[in-house]
């Protein structure tokens, strides 16, 4: 796990997964964040984040 | 579709917990990158040059990201609103051709010479005085640019979020200082990649929702005057288009002198290619970087065009308008922040603000890391303290990073005190940068060029730039010697100043070179085209070679120019 931190793609992927979780969790849990654009952007960033985590770079 | 509730929201934004959380996570990651990289830093070469070990995809994205600072993001959106689709000329005329030229023809000399910086290449090719001139002007320019970037960030956050100006300055500078001090160039480059994705993914939703709101591209074309939606059709005469230049000035001034002068000689961007693992990847770095660069107008020009379209009578019901300045004119600089405020709700607003902050920090870190390389290698090691241990230069490199950040902070406060200093510095930078490409072009492709020729060519070119600016006037600027010629726009004036300075440098370098003694051929091997082994076939597969890739990109660029003619 700690070895993966040396891979930039992994770090970037984790960053976008965290941001997407904030947006998506906010959409479902908070009226302040309940906007479709938050949900769709969150899904897009989650997909991008997972791809970056999976690829080796 | 309802994107947000506050249709009458003003430019002042109000962040909520989720927005602050996103900004905090970003700060946490950029600092974490510094700590991760720190353990790899063992020598000055690691700190200042990344030990030439960075993979191609990272060098390529860093190459484009180093140019994706705040001036680029905010400035291009503003230009999109002001000049319409003609702003794409800064990409499809003023970038791609030069990036391909750099990759195919110039990287073999930069990388193959094993120079650690562009000024060091000049010392190998010409002499020490040419190197010193370039290194000193570059160091001064980068540190001032870094300060101006910092000032602009703090000012923007003060205006739109009502954050404290001093706090913004010290917080942003502090974060950049932590990660550049810990991880040097590698840390800055890694964060540039993160910042690139954040800017692209953070601003893409804005383009999609705003374009949808405006009714699509066909609606924009229908509502805007035609000169804002055609890239070339109205370039026949300067007075027919909002840029105020004709196609000849554009192609020579922007497409040749300014574009090649920046992309092929500015160490800030060239440095990203020079840290690639090998020659083949160094050559492909600017070419791979040109792929996203071609499409970058979708992120940074299209929003501006959409913004001005939304202000037309048929679309005013959408409730968006670019804010006005104190004189009642459109404040184009605030186009992007106002669109973020208009279209982004809580959550995504945090992403948008973080993308803006990232663009400023990227610009600042890029300048600081280029500054510390040039200062350490080309000024300190070359002229002050030679032949010390590597540990000594590593320590100096780190101290210079701190000094660069502190000087940037001082510059930011100077910029806050003197309104015109930004304009003045940009002007001086253009005088220095304008003629530079002539020196490199002659130096790399004409072995008869001498050190004296290069030095005096640069001096005369810079003086020609200042004289041209002093004799022409546009939008009330220039003409400080005698306002003999009036030019339609400031942009047109910049192109003409660049063109004259380049021509003056080019011919004076030739004349002085012919009157002075050249270096012998054996000293120029690997530095001049005619005396260097060609490196066409480093890769066996055509799609891994710089030449074929470059040709494909040029074909796409030409096709896009035709499509949006």
CB-CB contact of B113 with B274 (8 Å): no
> Secondary structure of chain A: what % helix, strand, coil (to 5)?
85, 0, 15
Q: What is the pLDDT of residue B350?
A: 94
Instruction: Using CA coordinates, name the residue in chain A closest to B206.
Output: A37
For residue A44, CA distances in Å to A16, B267, B347, B410, B501 come to 9, 35, 14, 41, 47
Calpha distance B360→B148 (Å, rounded): 10
Identify the pLDDT of residue B532.
Answer: 82
Cβ separation A26–B4 shorter than 8 A: no
Q: What's the pLDDT score for residue B550?
A: 95
The Cα–Cα gap between B118 and B49 comes to 12
DSSP, collapsed to helix, strand or coil, labels residue B236 as: coil
pLDDT of residue B537: 56
Residues B496 and B461: beta-carbon distance below 8 Å: no
Residues of A (7-36) whose Cβ lies below 8 Å from B: 8, 11-12, 15-16, 18-19, 22-23, 26-27, 30, 32-33, 35-36
Distance in angstroms between the alpha carbons of the first and the last residue of chain B: 33
Starting at the earlier edge strand, list the strands of the sheet with B472-474. B477-478, B472-474, B485-486
Per-residue pLDDT of chain B (565 residues; tens, 9 = 90+): 223 233 333 466 788 999 999 999 999 999 999 999 998 899 999 999 888 889 999 999 999 998 888 778 888 999 999 999 999 999 999 999 999 999 999 999 999 888 999 999 999 999 999 999 999 999 988 988 888 888 888 888 888 888 999 999 999 999 999 999 999 999 999 999 999 999 999 999 999 999 999 999 999 999 999 999 999 999 998 888 888 888 988 898 889 988 998 899 999 899 999 999 999 999 999 999 999 999 999 999 999 999 999 999 999 899 899 988 878 888 888 899 999 999 999 999 999 999 989 888 888 888 999 999 999 999 999 999 998 999 999 999 999 999 999 999 998 898 877 756 666 666 777 787 778 899 999 999 999 999 999 999 999 999 999 999 999 998 788 888 998 888 877 777 888 888 899 999 999 999 999 999 999 999 999 899 888 877 655 667 888 888 899 999 999 999 999 999 9
Q: How far is the alpha carbon of A54 from chain B, nearest alpha carbon, in Å? A: 16
Does the distance separating the beta carbons of A36 and B21 come in below 8 Å? no
Mutate to test the interface with B, among A5, A13, A16, A41 (most CBs of B within 10 A): A41
Beta strand B477-478 with B485-486: parallel, antiparallel or unpaired? unpaired
What is the rounded distance in angstroms from the CA atom of residue B54 to the CA atom of residue B66? 15
How close B144 comes to chain A (CA, Å)?
30
Residue in B29, B32, B348 closest to A38 by CB: B348
Q: What's the CA gap between B293 and B91, in Å, rounded?
A: 7
What's this model's pTM, rounded to 2 decimal places? Answer: 0.91
- According to DSSP, the residues that pair with B276 across neighbouring strands are B54
> Which chain B residues are Cβ-neighbours of A36 within 8 angstroms?
1-3
User: Please, which residues bridge with residue B54 across strands?
Assistant: B276
- Residues of A whose CB is below 8 A from B343: 37
A26, A40, A57: best mutation site toward chain B, by most B Cβ within 10 Å? A26
Inter-chain residue contact A8 with B18, CB threshold 8 Å: no
CB contacts of B16 in chain A (<8 Å) are 32
Q: Can you tell me the ipTM of this complex?
A: 0.95
Q: Does B55 touch chain A (CB under 8 A)?
A: yes
- What is the four-CA torsion angle of B324, B330, B336, B340, rounded to 10 degrees? 40
């Amino acid at each position: 796990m700690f070895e993966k931190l040396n891979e930039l793609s992994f770090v970037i992927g984790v960053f976008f997964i965290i941001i997407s979780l904030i947006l998506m969790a906010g959409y479902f849990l908070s009226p302040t964040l309940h906007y479709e654009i938050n949900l769709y952007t969150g899904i897009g960033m989650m997909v991008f984040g997972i791809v970056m985590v999976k690829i080796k770079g | 579709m309802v994107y947000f509730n506050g249709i009458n929201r003003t430019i002042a934004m109000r962040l909520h917990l989720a927005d602050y959380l996103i900004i905090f996570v970003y700060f946490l990651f950029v600092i974490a990158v510094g700590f991760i990289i720190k353990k790899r830093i063992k020598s000055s070469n690691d700190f200042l040059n990344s030990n030439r070990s960075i993979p191609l995809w990272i060098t390529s994205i860093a190459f484009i990201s180093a140019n994706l600072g705040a001036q680029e993001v905010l400035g291009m959106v503003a230009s999109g609103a002001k000049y319409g689709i003609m702003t794409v000329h800064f990409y499809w005329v003023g970038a791609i051709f030069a990036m391909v030229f750099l990759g195919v023809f110039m990287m073999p000399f930069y990388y193959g010479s094993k120079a650690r910086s562009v000024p060091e290449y000049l010392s190998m090719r010409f002499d020490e005085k040419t190197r010193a001139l370039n290194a000193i002007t570059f160091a001064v320019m980068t540190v001032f640019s870094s300060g101006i970037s910092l000032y602009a960030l703090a000012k923007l956050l003060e205006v739109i979020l009502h954050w404290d100006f001093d706090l913004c300055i010290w917080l942003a500078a502090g974060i950049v200082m932590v990660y550049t001090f810990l991880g040097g160039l590698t840390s800055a480059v890694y964060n540039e990649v993160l910042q690139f994705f954040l800017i692209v993914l953070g601003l893409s939703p804005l383009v999609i929702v705003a374009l949808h709101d405006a009714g699509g591209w066909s609606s924009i074309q229908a509502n805007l005057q035609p000169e804002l939606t055609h890239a070339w059709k109205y370039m026949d005469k300067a007075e027919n288009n909002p840029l105020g230049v004709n196609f000849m000035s554009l192609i020579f001034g922007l497409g040749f002198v300014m574009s090649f002068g920046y992309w092929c000689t500015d160490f800030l961007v060239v440095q990203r290619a020079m840290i690639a693992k090998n020659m083949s990847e160094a050559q492909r770095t600017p070419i791979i970087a040109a792929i996203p660069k071609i499409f970058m107008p979708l992120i940074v020009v299209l929003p501006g065009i959409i913004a001005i379209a939304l202000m037309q009578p048929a679309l005013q019901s959408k409730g968006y308008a670019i804010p006005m300045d104190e004189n009642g004119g459109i404040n184009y600089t605030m186009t992007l922040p106002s669109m973020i405020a208009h279209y982004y709700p809580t959550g995504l607003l945090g992403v948008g603000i973080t993308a803006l902050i990232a663009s400023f920090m990227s610009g600042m870190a890029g300048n600081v890391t280029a500054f510390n390389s040039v200062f350490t290698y080309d000024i300190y090691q070359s002229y002050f303290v030679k032949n010390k241990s590597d540990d000594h230069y590593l320590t100096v490199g780190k101290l210079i990073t701190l000094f660069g950040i502190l000087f940037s902070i001082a510059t930011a406060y100077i910029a806050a005190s003197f309104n015109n200093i930004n304009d003045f510095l940009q002007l001086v930078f253009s005088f220095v940068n304008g003629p530079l490409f002539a020196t490199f072009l002659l130096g790399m492709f004409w072995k008869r060029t001498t050190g004296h020729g290069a030095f005096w060519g640069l001096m005369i070119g810079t003086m020609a730039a200042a004289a041209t600016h002093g004799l022409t006037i546009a939008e009330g600027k220039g003409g400080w010697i005698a306002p003999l010629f009036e030019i339609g726009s400031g942009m047109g004036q910049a192109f003409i100043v660049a063109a004259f300075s380049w021509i003056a440098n080019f011919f004076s370098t030739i004349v002085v070179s012919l009157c002075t003694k050249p270096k012998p051929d054996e000293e120029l091997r690997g530095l001049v085209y005619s005396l260097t082994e060609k490196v066409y076939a480093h890769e066996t597969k055509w799609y891994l070679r710089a030449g074929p890739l470059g040709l494909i990109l040029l074909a796409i660029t030409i096709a896009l120019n035709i499509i949006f003619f």
